[in-house]
Structure 1
Amino acid sequence: MKALVCDEPGRLSLVSRPDPVRGDGEVLVRIRHVGICGTDFHIFAGKHPFLEYPRVMGHELSGTVEEAPSGSALRKGDPVYIVPYLSCGGCQACRKGLTNACCNIRVLGVHCDGGMADYVSVPERNVVPTGGIALEDAAMIEFLAIGAHGVKRGNISAANRVLVTGSGPIGMSAIIFAKARGAHVTVMDTREYRLAFAVDRLGADAVLIADDRAEASAERQTGGEWFDVVVDATGNAVPMQRGFNFLNHGARYVLLSVVRQDIAFSDPEFHKREATLLASRNAQPDDFAEVVRQIEAGRVPTRALNTHRGRLEDAVGLFSEWSRPEAGVIKAILEV
């Protein structure tokens, strides 16, 4: 089979490898579409904290069943998406149902080779039928599930005034699912075209430019009451720390971002607000199911999100092109 390998930061190779052999309890999937994630761009740039090279990237995956275990409900040719979090099932996190935070987790394309290849073999529990969703759209389910999980972690409701900081794909997914719950959503970013997209295509209610006047603008917009929930999706330690400035009393701060650096905040200000700080890691099965429901209900503008398309054979050149900010990529998808 062909596979796209990140040999080292900044260098990709399209190589030929033996087809994977399906293990006991696994499903062999013929990959059809791969979504390109910020994680993949970080791997390409050498910025990912949990990765060793060389690595076949790719964890936003859809395809068709090639071979399934005897007795499986899956049949050859079934359209499926893949949950890329390989949990152990036995650690204390898994026993509590926190498979997304498994103590021994392996994420496809990060801790082990992923799906930028013709085939991948994964445990049957990680392979889910797409229902009526197109395979191209199904390759976006994983990144959308991350936003859905963060919104769930923040316990966002229609009673909440929400600020999403960072309007990349993960921030956009948080906007979509916060709006699905009826919240009033403000989006903050430095990129005005992304803010316009959030309003025009995702239904965001208000925007903030992330300049040195953002706090004053937010205070004015909210009548001095700030935000019930702040969701950070910037992937940058400086705005992650700045996000604490926008919390009202009793607020919840959800960190979708993960960075290498420590982050710090004013304990007296945090304490007097009796605020809550929440990490949000990966996603859980009910988050994937929520994404499918919202796509089927027409509440996710998949065609607008999928701004760039290409073939795996061309990915060596496309990765460099798509990683440039001026390329305007929201979600790029490779066809295999």
Structure 2
Amino acid sequence: MKAVICEKPYALEITERPLPVRASGDVMIRIDRIGLCGTDYHIFAGNQPFLAYPRVMGHELSGHVAEADADSPLTVGARVTINPYLPCGTCIACRKARPNCCVNIRVLGVHIDGGMTEFVCVPEAAVIPVEGLTPDQAAMVEFLSIGAHAVRRGATGPSDRALVVGAGPIGVGVALFAAMAGAEVTLIDTSAARLDYARDFVGIPHTAVVSDDLDAYLKRRTDGDYFDIVFDCTGSARAIEKGFSYVAHGGRYVLVSVVKDTLSFADPEFHKREMQLIGSRNATAEDFRHVIDSIRSGAIPTDVLKTQGFPMLDLPDRIGDLIADQGKVLKAIVTL
């Protein structure tokens, strides 16, 4: 079978691999769609902190069941998505029913080879049926689940004024689910093109470009109080550190993105706000179910989230342009 492998930073190659051998308890999935996300771009560029090369990328997956145990509830041909966060089941996080931050977690496409290939075998518990969703919609479930999880981690509700920093796919997902939770959402980014798309097509009305006037605008927008909850979705240490100043007294700061850098902040400013600093990592089956239900209900405008699509085997020639033109890329999905 064919696969796309990142041998080292800036080096994607198409390779031939043997079909995976399914073990008892696993399910073989024929991959139909693979969403590209910031993690994949970071892997390509060499700045993903949890990865060793070479690696087959791909964790935003949709496909259909090719083979399963005889007693499995999953039927051959059923359309599915995959929860790519494979927990150990025994560590302290797993014992606390928080497998998304498992001590020994294996993430498809990061710690172990992912789904940028024709077939993949995963534990049955990681396979989630998505009846009624299209292949493209099924490939969007994972990245939207990251946003849904962050909103849940932040205990976001109707009384909140929320600031989402970063208008990439994760930030847009956070903004959508924060709005669904009843929060009044403001979305900011350095890219006017991304914000224009989020406002005009995705339906996020309040946006602002990062500029010298941003602080004054955000202060006016919140009557001088700033935001009850701030989400960072940038992957930028500088942006994360700046975000501390946008949290209201008594507010929460949710860090969704991951950076290699060491972060710093002013402890007096942190303490006088009695601020909560919250990490949000990956997503859980609960988040996946919430996203699937939201897509089925029509609450998520999946038709405008996909901005690019092309065959998987074209990726080595296309990924550089996708990274260079991020202002015009919300979600690229490759097909098999």
TM-score normalised over the length of structure 1: 0.98
Give the aligned partner of residue 253 of structure 2.
253
Q: What displacement does 1:275 show?
A: 0.9
CA distance in structure 1 between the aligned counterparts of 2:227 and 2:233, rounded to whole angstroms: 16
Q: What displacement does 1:197 show?
A: 2.2
Could you tell me whether the CA contact under 8 Å between 2:252 and 2:275 is conserved in 1?
Answer: yes
Structure 1 alignment gaps of length 5 or more? none
Could you tell me whether the CA contact under 8 Å between 1:175 and 1:202 is conserved in 2?
Answer: no
CA distance in structure 1 between the aligned counterparts of 2:89 and 2:302, rounded to whole angstroms: 32
Could you tell me whether the CA contact under 8 Å between 2:6 and 2:44 is conserved in 1?
Answer: yes
1:200 aligns with 2:200: yes
CA distance in structure 2 between the aligned counterparts of 1:297 and 1:201, rounded to whole angstroms: 18
Structure 2 alignment gaps of length 5 or more? none
| Counterpart secondary structure, 2:63 | strand
Residue type of the partner of 2:282? Answer: N
Matched residue pairs, number? Answer: 336
Percent identity for Structure 1 against Structure 2: 49
Give the aligned partner of residue 323 of structure 2.
323
Q: What displacement does 1:225 show?
A: 1.4
**C-alpha deviations, 1:47-85, integer Å up to 9, x for none?**
111111111000000101010012100111111000001
**C-alpha deviations, 1:268-300, integer Å up to 9, x for none?**
111111110000000011111111111111121
| Counterpart secondary structure, 1:133 | coil
1:178 aligns with 2:178: yes
Give the aligned partner of residue 95 of structure 2.
95
Comparing 202-211 with 33-42, greater Cα deviation is found at 202-211
Q: What displacement does 1:118 show?
A: 0.4
Residue type of the partner of 1:248? Answer: A
Residue type of the partner of 1:214? Answer: L
CA distance in structure 1 between the aligned counterparts of 2:320 and 2:219, rounded to whole angstroms: 40
Give the aligned partner of residue 51 of structure 1.
51
Could you tell me whether the CA contact under 8 Å between 2:167 and 2:188 is conserved in 1?
Answer: yes
Give the aligned partner of residue 135 of structure 1.
135
Could you tell me whether the CA contact under 8 Å between 1:230 and 1:246 is conserved in 2?
Answer: yes
**C-alpha deviations, 1:221-275, integer Å up to 9, x for none?**
2111111000000100001000011111110000001100111111111111111
Q: Please list, as runs of the form range in 1=range in 2, the aligned pairs for 1:140-219 lying within 5 A after superposition.
A: 140-219=140-219
CA distance in structure 2 between the aligned counterparts of 1:121 and 1:323, rounded to whole angstroms: 29
Could you tell me whether the CA contact under 8 Å between 1:232 and 1:243 is conserved in 2?
Answer: yes
Q: Please list, as runs of the form range in 1=range in 2, the aligned pairs for 1:1-336 lying within 5 A after superposition.
A: 1-325=1-325, 328-336=328-336
TM-score normalised over the length of structure 2: 0.98
Cα 1:326–1:49 shift into 2, 3 Å: closer
| Counterpart secondary structure, 2:202 | coil
After superposition, the CA RMSD in angstroms is 1.1
CA distance in structure 1 between the aligned counterparts of 2:328 and 2:199, rounded to whole angstroms: 17
Residue type of the partner of 1:101? Answer: C
| Counterpart secondary structure, 1:22 | coil
CA distance in structure 2 between the aligned counterparts of 1:132 and 1:234, rounded to whole angstroms: 32
Runs of at least 4 residues off by over 3 Å: none
CA distance in structure 1 between the aligned counterparts of 2:255 and 2:64, rounded to whole angstroms: 34
| Counterpart secondary structure, 2:61 | strand
Comparing 310-319 with 199-208, greater Cα deviation is found at 199-208
CA distance in structure 1 between the aligned counterparts of 2:153 and 2:332, rounded to whole angstroms: 27
Could you tell me whether the CA contact under 8 Å between 1:321 and 1:327 is conserved in 2?
Answer: no
Could you tell me whether the CA contact under 8 Å between 2:202 and 2:304 is conserved in 1?
Answer: no
Q: What displacement does 1:326 show?
A: 5.7
CA distance in structure 2 between the aligned counterparts of 1:202 and 1:316, rounded to whole angstroms: 29
Could you tell me whether the CA contact under 8 Å between 1:309 and 1:333 is conserved in 2?
Answer: yes
Could you tell me whether the CA contact under 8 Å between 2:193 and 2:328 is conserved in 1?
Answer: no
Could you tell me whether the CA contact under 8 Å between 2:194 and 2:328 is conserved in 1?
Answer: no
CA distance in structure 1 between the aligned counterparts of 2:90 and 2:110, rounded to whole angstroms: 21
Could you tell me whether the CA contact under 8 Å between 2:190 and 2:209 is conserved in 1?
Answer: yes
CA distance in structure 2 between the aligned counterparts of 1:122 and 1:35, rounded to whole angstroms: 18
Could you tell me whether the CA contact under 8 Å between 1:2 and 1:14 is conserved in 2?
Answer: yes
CA distance in structure 2 between the aligned counterparts of 1:209 and 1:99, rounded to whole angstroms: 36
| Counterpart secondary structure, 1:323 | helix
Residue type of the partner of 1:247? Answer: V
Could you tell me whether the CA contact under 8 Å between 1:63 and 1:80 is conserved in 2?
Answer: yes
**C-alpha deviations, 1:167-188, integer Å up to 9, x for none?**
0110000001001111100011
